[in-house]
Structure 1
Amino acid sequence: MKQLELTDLDIDRQLLDLPGTSLLVFTSLGCTSCRWARQYLPTLALPLERLCWIDAADNGGAVERYEVFHLPALFVIRDGDFYGPLRAPLTAQGIDQGLREVLQAEPDELP
């Protein structure tokens, strides 16, 4: 699965232009769960085109716009449309089911 590292400077342009489904994941180096997610998520067979990582400690603008209050925080974007947060267990089955549910909702604009 493809992986991208995003920043405050390129997050909007990248997410608007990327085809297919992306999982945007806010993490931080000091967060144990985040370090685990960075190692584990890329190994899963998920119905995604890519994982997009953003370091919450270095990208406060994106953290504020996406209203991130806990880490790791996951958001779903498909074909430039924002489908909101993904609240699911960090397992292949949990993420797969969560994606199906989130993608049934009406999309919104990126924050």
Structure 2
Amino acid sequence: MSTDTLDLDDGTADRALLDARGLTLLVFTSQGCPNCRQAREALPDMNLNVDRIAWVDAGRSGGLVARYEVFHLPAMFVIRDGVYYGAVQASLAHWDISRQVALALDGYPAELP
């Protein structure tokens, strides 16, 4: 499956996520974070079962950081067809992220934060 990527911020995220069909992995990162750089390099090549990876620079999007209650970086969240399925607590390993995304999709959906 080909994975698209997009860069979002406080001004673009809501509309883009609400309109996106399929599965989005929303990832918060920061330029000064070594684990974030690793995530930014590794995630697009993991061939995850998602339609897109949406990146948010936490240092430039304080509103999204607050609404999604981001306390550590990188932070990942699952959104399908504009509906929020929650956080993904996983290591940067394909098997772990895939499992946690599937578990999130088994939960109850909610409105986007």
TM-score relative to the length of structure 2: 0.97
Partner of 1:30: 32
Matched, 1:85 2:65: no
SS at match of 1:82: strand
* Structure 2 runs not aligned, ≥5 long: none
The more displaced of 26-35 and 82-91 is 82-91
SS at match of 1:83: strand
Q: Which runs of 4+ in 1 moved over 3 A?
A: none
Instruction: Return the offset for 1:88.
Output: 1.4
CA distance in 2, matches of 1:89, 1:31: 15
Deviations, residues 18-76 of structure 1 (Å, cap 9, x unaligned): 00000000000000000000000000011100000000000000000000000000000
Structure 2 matches for 1:55-66, cutoff 5 A? 55-66=57-68
Partner of 1:10: 12
CA distance in 2, matches of 1:8, 1:14: 11
TM-score relative to the length of structure 1: 0.98
CA distance in 1, matches of 2:94, 2:13: 25
CA distance in 2, matches of 1:83, 1:76: 5
How many equivalent residue pairs? 111
Partner of 1:96: 98
Deviations, residues 64-102 of structure 1 (Å, cap 9, x unaligned): 000000000000000000001001121110011111111
Using the aligned pairs only, state the percent identity: 50
Partner of 2:71: 69
